[in-house]
Amino acid sequence: MNSQGYLLCCFDNELYFKLTERIISNIRLYDNTRKICILTNNINYFNNHIDENIIIKLFDYNNHLHPKININNT
């Protein structure tokens, strides 16, 4: 199962961080084997989730913006 997993993107707003925690809990109810990767600009928020199946990566989405993306849309 190393070729499968979940990718969660979570930035800026504490509501999204809490929703990400909830998604992780829901995933773990049904799947304890696949890895979860979280791309976030606040890795400190997720420090309590570090284990061998959760990967937390610092990601600055500002480096990946496109002129057609409306960054004002939450």
Going residue by residue through the chain, which has 74 residues, state the pLDDT in tens, using 9 for 90 and above. 578 999 999 988 889 899 999 999 999 999 999 999 999 999 888 887 667 889 999 988 777 777 777 777 66
Q: What is the pLDDT of residue 21?
A: 92
Residue 73 lies in a domain: no
Residue 28 lies in a domain: yes
Residue 57 lies in a domain: yes
How many domains is the chain partitioned into structurally? 1
Residue 52 lies in a domain: yes
pTM tops 0.85, yes or no: no
Q: What is the pLDDT of residue 61?
A: 74
Residue 9 lies in a domain: yes
Query: Going edge to edge, which strands form the sheet with 54-58?
Result: 5-10, 35-40, 54-58
Show the domain range for 41. Answer: 5-64
Q: What is the pLDDT of residue 74?
A: 61
Residue 10 lies in a domain: yes
Distance CA 74, CA 72 (A): 6
Residue 69 lies in a domain: no
Task: Check: CB of residue 33 under 8 Å from CB of residue 51.
Answer: no
